[in-house]
Amino acid sequence: MPVQQATLQRLAQIPNLTISEHTLLSRYTRFGIGGPAELYIETPSEPSFIAALNFVRASGVEFAVIGSGTNLIVSDAGFRGVVLRFTSGGLSSDGRIVRAQAGAELQALVDYSIGQGLRGLETMTGIPGSVGAAIYGNAGAYGHSINESVRQVRLFDGSEIREFSNAECEFHYRESVFKRHKDWIIFSTELELASAPTDELRKTADGILKVRLDKYPVTMKCAGSIFKNLILAELPEAVQRQVPARVIREGKVPSAFFLEEVGAKGIQNGGIRVADYHANLIYNAGDGTARELCAIIADLKSRVQNRFGLTLEEEVQYIGFPDPSTGSLTVAVR
Ligand SMILES: Cc1cc2nc3c(=O)[nH]c(=O)nc-3n(C[C@H](O)[C@H](O)[C@H](O)COP(=O)(O)OP(=O)(O)OC[C@H]3O[C@@H](n4cnc5c(N)ncnc54)[C@H](O)[C@@H]3O)c2cc1C
Protein backbone atom coordinates (compact mmCIF):
# COMPACT_ATOMS: atom_id res chain seq x y z
CA MET A 1 0.00 0.00 0.00
CA PRO A 2 1.44 3.44 -0.92
CA VAL A 3 2.16 5.97 1.81
CA GLN A 4 -0.81 8.35 2.15
CA GLN A 5 -0.44 12.05 3.03
CA ALA A 6 -2.38 11.35 6.23
CA THR A 7 0.30 8.77 7.20
CA LEU A 8 3.02 11.32 6.61
CA GLN A 9 1.19 13.92 8.69
CA ARG A 10 0.76 11.51 11.60
CA LEU A 11 4.42 10.47 11.45
CA ALA A 12 5.46 14.12 11.44
CA GLN A 13 3.81 14.48 14.87
CA ILE A 14 6.16 11.88 16.42
CA PRO A 15 9.12 13.66 18.06
CA ASN A 16 12.78 13.03 17.13
CA LEU A 17 12.10 11.68 13.64
CA THR A 18 13.92 13.02 10.59
CA ILE A 19 11.60 12.28 7.69
CA SER A 20 12.20 12.78 3.98
CA GLU A 21 10.03 11.93 0.98
CA HIS A 22 11.10 10.28 -2.30
CA THR A 23 14.62 9.86 -0.94
CA LEU A 24 17.06 8.21 -3.32
CA LEU A 25 18.37 5.13 -1.55
CA SER A 26 21.50 5.17 -3.74
CA ARG A 27 22.65 7.86 -1.28
CA TYR A 28 22.48 5.30 1.51
CA THR A 29 24.07 2.26 -0.16
CA ARG A 30 27.79 1.69 -0.66
CA PHE A 31 27.03 0.36 -4.16
CA GLY A 32 25.59 3.82 -4.88
CA ILE A 33 22.60 2.02 -6.38
CA GLY A 34 18.89 2.18 -5.56
CA GLY A 35 15.79 4.16 -6.49
CA PRO A 36 13.67 6.22 -4.09
CA ALA A 37 11.92 5.20 -0.90
CA GLU A 38 8.50 6.79 -0.54
CA LEU A 39 9.54 7.82 2.96
CA TYR A 40 12.92 7.64 4.67
CA ILE A 41 12.98 8.00 8.45
CA GLU A 42 15.94 8.24 10.82
CA THR A 43 15.90 8.53 14.57
CA PRO A 44 18.27 8.05 17.50
CA SER A 45 15.31 7.49 19.84
CA GLU A 46 14.00 4.01 20.65
CA PRO A 47 10.50 5.21 21.70
CA SER A 48 10.21 7.33 18.53
CA PHE A 49 11.38 4.43 16.36
CA ILE A 50 8.80 2.14 17.96
CA ALA A 51 6.03 4.75 17.64
CA ALA A 52 6.86 5.25 13.94
CA LEU A 53 7.09 1.52 13.28
CA ASN A 54 3.80 0.82 15.06
CA PHE A 55 2.08 3.50 13.04
CA VAL A 56 3.57 2.30 9.74
CA ARG A 57 2.52 -1.29 10.49
CA ALA A 58 -1.00 -0.23 11.45
CA SER A 59 -1.29 1.72 8.17
CA GLY A 60 -0.50 -1.45 6.20
CA VAL A 61 2.49 0.24 4.55
CA GLU A 62 5.56 -1.88 3.69
CA PHE A 63 8.71 -1.09 5.64
CA ALA A 64 12.38 -2.02 5.66
CA VAL A 65 15.14 -1.41 8.21
CA ILE A 66 18.61 -0.45 7.07
CA GLY A 67 21.93 0.28 8.75
CA SER A 68 24.84 1.89 6.90
CA GLY A 69 23.90 0.30 3.56
CA THR A 70 27.18 -1.57 3.03
CA ASN A 71 25.53 -4.92 2.40
CA LEU A 72 22.47 -3.90 0.43
CA ILE A 73 21.25 -4.17 -3.12
CA VAL A 74 18.30 -1.83 -3.54
CA SER A 75 16.24 -2.14 -6.72
CA ASP A 76 16.42 0.59 -9.36
CA ALA A 77 12.70 1.16 -8.77
CA GLY A 78 13.42 1.86 -5.11
CA PHE A 79 11.18 0.85 -2.23
CA ARG A 80 7.42 1.36 -2.17
CA GLY A 81 7.06 2.08 1.50
CA VAL A 82 8.99 3.39 4.47
CA VAL A 83 12.69 2.81 5.09
CA LEU A 84 13.73 3.23 8.73
CA ARG A 85 17.15 3.61 10.30
CA PHE A 86 18.03 3.67 14.01
CA THR A 87 21.00 5.98 14.42
CA SER A 88 21.88 6.00 18.10
CA GLY A 89 25.45 4.77 18.54
CA GLY A 90 26.34 4.97 22.22
CA LEU A 91 29.15 2.78 23.57
CA SER A 92 29.92 2.05 27.22
CA SER A 93 31.72 -0.55 29.29
CA ASP A 94 31.84 -2.04 32.74
CA GLY A 95 34.90 -4.24 33.21
CA ARG A 96 34.86 -6.84 30.45
CA ILE A 97 31.26 -6.06 29.44
CA VAL A 98 30.77 -3.61 26.55
CA ARG A 99 27.38 -2.22 25.57
CA ALA A 100 26.79 -0.86 22.07
CA GLN A 101 23.73 0.69 20.48
CA ALA A 102 22.79 -0.65 17.07
CA GLY A 103 23.48 2.60 15.24
CA ALA A 104 27.15 2.64 16.24
CA GLU A 105 29.62 1.88 13.47
CA LEU A 106 31.20 -1.53 14.06
CA GLN A 107 34.64 0.09 13.62
CA ALA A 108 33.86 2.50 16.48
CA LEU A 109 33.02 -0.48 18.67
CA VAL A 110 36.20 -2.31 17.61
CA ASP A 111 38.34 0.76 18.35
CA TYR A 112 36.55 1.35 21.66
CA SER A 113 37.10 -2.23 22.86
CA ILE A 114 40.77 -2.13 21.84
CA GLY A 115 41.13 1.16 23.72
CA GLN A 116 39.61 -0.50 26.81
CA GLY A 117 42.17 -3.33 26.57
CA LEU A 118 39.54 -5.87 25.58
CA ARG A 119 40.10 -8.73 23.15
CA GLY A 120 37.47 -10.32 20.88
CA LEU A 121 36.62 -7.80 18.19
CA GLU A 122 40.04 -6.78 16.87
CA THR A 123 39.91 -9.14 13.85
CA MET A 124 36.73 -7.35 12.76
CA THR A 125 38.59 -4.14 12.12
CA GLY A 126 37.76 -2.69 8.73
CA ILE A 127 34.37 -4.38 8.36
CA PRO A 128 32.14 -1.48 7.39
CA GLY A 129 28.61 -1.01 8.68
CA SER A 130 26.68 -0.72 11.90
CA VAL A 131 26.61 -2.84 15.04
CA GLY A 132 22.91 -3.72 14.49
CA ALA A 133 23.62 -5.19 11.07
CA ALA A 134 26.74 -6.96 12.34
CA ILE A 135 24.50 -8.83 14.79
CA TYR A 136 21.85 -9.42 12.10
CA GLY A 137 24.38 -10.99 9.72
CA ASN A 138 26.81 -12.34 12.35
CA ALA A 139 29.62 -10.37 10.76
CA GLY A 140 33.16 -11.57 11.07
CA ALA A 141 36.57 -11.98 9.51
CA TYR A 142 39.85 -13.80 9.99
CA GLY A 143 38.25 -16.82 11.63
CA HIS A 144 36.15 -14.92 14.18
CA SER A 145 32.56 -13.63 14.18
CA ILE A 146 30.70 -11.28 16.48
CA ASN A 147 28.60 -14.11 17.95
CA GLU A 148 31.64 -15.29 19.93
CA SER A 149 31.36 -12.17 22.10
CA VAL A 150 27.61 -11.50 22.22
CA ARG A 151 26.01 -11.92 25.63
CA GLN A 152 22.67 -10.30 24.97
CA VAL A 153 20.72 -8.54 22.22
CA ARG A 154 17.90 -6.07 22.88
CA LEU A 155 15.28 -5.94 20.14
CA PHE A 156 11.75 -4.91 19.29
CA ASP A 157 9.67 -7.70 17.74
CA GLY A 158 6.73 -5.57 16.65
CA SER A 159 4.84 -5.89 19.90
CA GLU A 160 7.38 -5.75 22.72
CA ILE A 161 11.02 -5.14 23.64
CA ARG A 162 12.84 -8.44 24.23
CA GLU A 163 16.30 -9.39 25.44
CA PHE A 164 17.80 -12.42 23.73
CA SER A 165 20.64 -14.51 25.10
CA ASN A 166 23.38 -15.63 22.71
CA ALA A 167 21.62 -18.99 22.23
CA GLU A 168 18.31 -17.30 21.40
CA CYS A 169 20.02 -15.36 18.59
CA GLU A 170 20.61 -18.72 16.83
CA PHE A 171 23.89 -17.60 15.35
CA HIS A 172 25.59 -19.57 12.61
CA TYR A 173 28.07 -18.60 9.92
CA ARG A 174 26.68 -15.25 8.61
CA GLU A 175 23.28 -16.23 10.02
CA SER A 176 21.07 -15.36 12.95
CA VAL A 177 17.43 -15.58 13.96
CA PHE A 178 17.12 -11.96 12.78
CA LYS A 179 17.61 -12.94 9.13
CA ARG A 180 14.41 -14.98 9.45
CA HIS A 181 12.57 -12.09 11.16
CA LYS A 182 13.36 -9.13 8.96
CA ASP A 183 10.66 -7.08 10.69
CA TRP A 184 12.49 -7.18 14.04
CA ILE A 185 14.70 -4.28 14.96
CA ILE A 186 17.87 -4.64 16.98
CA PHE A 187 18.42 -1.70 19.33
CA SER A 188 21.53 -2.69 21.25
CA THR A 189 23.83 -5.47 22.32
CA GLU A 190 25.94 -6.45 25.28
CA LEU A 191 29.27 -8.15 24.61
CA GLU A 192 31.62 -10.00 26.92
CA LEU A 193 35.29 -9.65 26.01
CA ALA A 194 38.60 -10.78 27.48
CA SER A 195 41.34 -8.57 28.90
CA ALA A 196 44.44 -8.09 26.75
CA PRO A 197 47.11 -5.43 26.24
CA THR A 198 45.87 -2.60 24.02
CA ASP A 199 49.20 -2.44 22.11
CA GLU A 200 48.96 -6.08 21.12
CA LEU A 201 45.33 -5.73 19.97
CA ARG A 202 46.13 -2.54 18.05
CA LYS A 203 48.97 -4.27 16.25
CA THR A 204 46.72 -7.16 15.17
CA ALA A 205 44.01 -4.73 14.03
CA ASP A 206 46.42 -2.48 12.13
CA GLY A 207 47.91 -5.46 10.29
CA ILE A 208 44.45 -6.66 9.24
CA LEU A 209 43.34 -3.19 8.22
CA LYS A 210 46.30 -2.77 5.90
CA VAL A 211 45.48 -6.02 4.06
CA ARG A 212 41.79 -5.12 3.87
CA LEU A 213 42.38 -1.64 2.47
CA ASP A 214 44.39 -3.14 -0.40
CA LYS A 215 41.56 -5.55 -1.16
CA TYR A 216 38.68 -3.10 -0.63
CA PRO A 217 39.79 0.47 -1.34
CA VAL A 218 37.62 2.90 0.66
CA THR A 219 36.12 4.39 -2.49
CA MET A 220 35.11 1.03 -3.97
CA LYS A 221 31.34 0.82 -4.43
CA CYS A 222 30.73 -2.75 -3.33
CA ALA A 223 29.37 -4.96 -0.56
CA GLY A 224 32.50 -6.91 0.26
CA SER A 225 31.84 -10.54 -0.60
CA ILE A 226 28.64 -11.06 -2.55
CA PHE A 227 28.29 -14.75 -1.74
CA LYS A 228 28.74 -16.63 1.54
CA ASN A 229 31.59 -19.08 1.72
CA LEU A 230 30.72 -22.77 1.93
CA ILE A 231 31.26 -25.14 4.82
CA LEU A 232 33.45 -27.98 3.51
CA ALA A 233 31.76 -30.69 5.56
CA GLU A 234 28.35 -29.73 4.12
CA LEU A 235 29.44 -30.08 0.48
CA PRO A 236 28.67 -33.24 -1.52
CA GLU A 237 31.64 -35.60 -1.48
CA ALA A 238 32.12 -35.31 -5.24
CA VAL A 239 32.56 -31.54 -4.82
CA GLN A 240 34.81 -31.90 -1.75
CA ARG A 241 37.18 -34.01 -3.86
CA GLN A 242 37.58 -31.14 -6.34
CA VAL A 243 38.61 -28.62 -3.68
CA PRO A 244 42.38 -28.33 -3.21
CA ALA A 245 43.50 -28.26 0.44
CA ARG A 246 45.31 -24.94 -0.08
CA VAL A 247 42.01 -23.02 -0.51
CA ILE A 248 40.31 -24.37 2.65
CA ARG A 249 40.27 -21.91 5.55
CA GLU A 250 38.78 -22.60 8.99
CA GLY A 251 36.77 -25.48 7.51
CA LYS A 252 35.30 -23.28 4.78
CA VAL A 253 35.75 -23.17 1.04
CA PRO A 254 35.72 -19.61 -0.27
CA SER A 255 32.99 -19.06 -2.86
CA ALA A 256 35.75 -17.32 -4.77
CA PHE A 257 37.27 -20.74 -5.52
CA PHE A 258 34.15 -21.95 -7.38
CA LEU A 259 33.64 -18.55 -9.00
CA GLU A 260 37.19 -18.44 -10.26
CA GLU A 261 36.81 -21.93 -11.72
CA VAL A 262 33.83 -20.72 -13.79
CA GLY A 263 35.71 -17.70 -15.09
CA ALA A 264 34.09 -14.97 -12.96
CA LYS A 265 37.08 -12.65 -12.61
CA GLY A 266 36.85 -9.55 -14.76
CA ILE A 267 33.30 -10.17 -16.05
CA GLN A 268 31.51 -6.88 -16.74
CA ASN A 269 27.87 -6.03 -17.35
CA GLY A 270 27.27 -2.34 -18.02
CA GLY A 271 28.75 -0.47 -15.06
CA ILE A 272 29.08 -3.56 -12.85
CA ARG A 273 32.29 -5.55 -12.77
CA VAL A 274 33.75 -8.59 -10.99
CA ALA A 275 37.19 -7.64 -9.62
CA ASP A 276 40.11 -8.94 -11.68
CA TYR A 277 41.85 -10.04 -8.47
CA HIS A 278 38.90 -11.50 -6.50
CA ALA A 279 36.08 -13.54 -8.02
CA ASN A 280 33.65 -12.93 -5.10
CA LEU A 281 34.01 -9.15 -5.21
CA ILE A 282 31.56 -7.36 -7.47
CA TYR A 283 31.63 -3.58 -7.68
CA ASN A 284 29.97 -0.65 -9.34
CA ALA A 285 32.65 0.64 -11.68
CA GLY A 286 30.64 3.62 -12.90
CA ASP A 287 26.93 4.10 -13.38
CA GLY A 288 25.97 0.52 -12.69
CA THR A 289 22.37 -0.41 -11.95
CA ALA A 290 20.72 -2.99 -9.71
CA ARG A 291 19.47 -4.70 -12.87
CA GLU A 292 23.01 -5.14 -14.14
CA LEU A 293 24.24 -6.23 -10.72
CA CYS A 294 21.49 -8.82 -10.26
CA ALA A 295 22.12 -10.15 -13.77
CA ILE A 296 25.78 -10.76 -12.98
CA ILE A 297 24.86 -12.45 -9.70
CA ALA A 298 22.32 -14.69 -11.47
CA ASP A 299 24.83 -15.52 -14.21
CA LEU A 300 27.53 -16.50 -11.68
CA LYS A 301 25.08 -18.58 -9.66
CA SER A 302 24.00 -20.50 -12.72
CA ARG A 303 27.60 -21.08 -13.88
CA VAL A 304 28.51 -22.56 -10.46
CA GLN A 305 25.28 -24.56 -10.37
CA ASN A 306 25.92 -26.05 -13.82
CA ARG A 307 29.57 -26.87 -13.19
CA PHE A 308 29.49 -28.02 -9.54
CA GLY A 309 25.80 -28.61 -8.75
CA LEU A 310 26.07 -26.03 -5.94
CA THR A 311 23.73 -23.18 -5.16
CA LEU A 312 25.71 -20.17 -3.98
CA GLU A 313 23.88 -18.11 -1.38
CA GLU A 314 24.09 -14.35 -1.27
CA GLU A 315 25.52 -12.66 1.82
CA VAL A 316 24.23 -9.37 0.48
CA GLN A 317 20.62 -8.44 1.33
CA TYR A 318 17.96 -7.21 -1.10
CA ILE A 319 15.47 -4.37 -0.70
CA GLY A 320 12.66 -3.46 -3.10
CA PHE A 321 12.49 -6.74 -5.03
CA PRO A 322 9.35 -8.91 -5.31
CA ASP A 323 11.23 -11.78 -3.62
CA PRO A 324 13.41 -10.33 -0.83
CA SER A 325 15.78 -13.33 -0.96
CA THR A 326 16.84 -12.59 -4.52
CA GLY A 327 17.11 -9.78 -7.04
CA SER A 328 15.57 -9.49 -10.48
CA LEU A 329 16.99 -12.14 -12.77
CA THR A 330 15.80 -10.85 -16.10
CA VAL A 331 18.78 -9.26 -17.81
CA ALA A 332 21.32 -11.41 -19.67
CA VAL A 333 25.00 -10.69 -19.12
CA ARG A 334 26.68 -9.34 -22.26
C1 LIG B 1 34.31 -3.34 1.59
C2 LIG B 1 33.43 -4.26 2.39
C3 LIG B 1 34.00 -5.30 3.12
C4 LIG B 1 33.20 -6.15 3.88
N5 LIG B 1 33.79 -7.14 4.61
C6 LIG B 1 33.05 -7.92 5.41
C7 LIG B 1 33.66 -8.92 6.23
O8 LIG B 1 34.87 -9.10 6.23
N9 LIG B 1 32.85 -9.66 7.04
C10 LIG B 1 31.51 -9.47 7.09
O11 LIG B 1 30.83 -10.16 7.86
N12 LIG B 1 30.90 -8.54 6.31
C13 LIG B 1 31.63 -7.77 5.48
N14 LIG B 1 31.03 -6.83 4.69
C15 LIG B 1 29.57 -6.73 4.66
C16 LIG B 1 29.01 -5.64 5.61
O17 LIG B 1 30.02 -4.81 6.08
C18 LIG B 1 28.32 -6.28 6.78
O19 LIG B 1 27.28 -7.11 6.34
C20 LIG B 1 27.74 -5.23 7.74
O21 LIG B 1 27.37 -5.86 8.94
C22 LIG B 1 26.55 -4.48 7.14
O23 LIG B 1 26.27 -3.38 7.98
P24 LIG B 1 25.34 -2.16 7.52
O25 LIG B 1 25.05 -1.33 8.71
O26 LIG B 1 25.92 -1.48 6.36
O27 LIG B 1 24.01 -2.93 7.12
P28 LIG B 1 23.04 -2.70 5.88
O29 LIG B 1 23.76 -3.06 4.64
O30 LIG B 1 22.41 -1.37 5.95
O31 LIG B 1 21.94 -3.81 6.18
C32 LIG B 1 22.26 -5.17 6.14
C33 LIG B 1 21.09 -5.95 6.75
O34 LIG B 1 21.05 -5.68 8.14
C35 LIG B 1 19.71 -5.37 8.53
N36 LIG B 1 19.80 -4.42 9.65
C37 LIG B 1 20.54 -3.30 9.71
N38 LIG B 1 20.41 -2.70 10.91
C39 LIG B 1 19.52 -3.47 11.61
C40 LIG B 1 18.95 -3.38 12.92
N41 LIG B 1 19.26 -2.38 13.76
N42 LIG B 1 18.06 -4.32 13.30
C43 LIG B 1 17.74 -5.34 12.46
N44 LIG B 1 18.25 -5.49 11.22
C45 LIG B 1 19.13 -4.57 10.81
C46 LIG B 1 19.09 -4.74 7.30
O47 LIG B 1 17.69 -4.89 7.30
C48 LIG B 1 19.75 -5.55 6.17
O49 LIG B 1 19.00 -6.73 5.90
C50 LIG B 1 31.81 -5.96 3.91
C51 LIG B 1 31.23 -4.92 3.17
C52 LIG B 1 32.05 -4.07 2.43
C53 LIG B 1 31.42 -2.95 1.66
DSSP string, 75-92: -TT-EEEEEEEE----EE
Ligand 1 geometric centre to CA of 6 (Å): 33
Judge if the beta carbon of residue 178 lies within 6 A of ligand 1: yes
User: Is the predicted pLDDT of residue 55 greater than 60, yes or no?
Assistant: yes
Q: What is the pLDDT of residue 324?
A: 66
For residue 220, the ligand 1 atom closest to its alpha carbon is: 1
d(CA 116, ligand 1 centre) in Å: 24
pLDDT tens per residue, range 305-316: 999 999 999 999
Q: How far is the CA of 69 from the centre of ligand 1 (A)?
A: 7
From the CB of 84, is ligand 1 less than 6 Å away?
A: no
Q: Say if residues 37 and 82 touch (Cβ distance below 8 Å).
A: yes
Q: Given ligand 1 and candidates 50, 68, 71, 153, which is best to mutate, with the most ligand atoms within 8 Å of its CB?
A: 71
Model confidence band, residue 331 (pLDDT cutoffs 50, 70, 90):
very low
Q: Which pLDDT belongs to residue 2?
A: 74
Identify the pLDDT of residue 329.
42
Pocket test for ligand 1, best of 27, 70, 180, 255 (most atoms within 8 A of CB): 70
Residues 6+ apart with CB under 8 A from 268: 274, 285, 334
Cβ 223 under 6 angstroms from ligand 1: yes
315: helix, coil or strand?
coil
Contact 68, 104 (CB under 8 A): no
Ligand 1 mean position, distance from CA 10 (Å): 31
The answer to whether residue 131 scores a pLDDT higher than 90 is yes
State yes or no: pLDDT of 5 exceeds 90: no
How would residue 276 be classed by pLDDT, with cut points 50, 70 and 90? very high
Concatenating the DSSP letter of every residue in 195-252 gives E--HHHHHHHHHHHHHHHHHHS-TT--EEEESB--EEGGGS-HHHHTTS-GGG-BTTE
pLDDT of residue 328: 52
Helices 5-12 and 46-58 cross at an angle (nearest 10°) of 160
Instruction: For the beta carbon of residue 38, count every other beta carbon within 10 angstroms.
Output: 20
Average pLDDT, the chain: 95
Q: Is the pLDDT of residue 333 over 90?
A: no
AA letter at 62: E
pLDDT at 332: 34
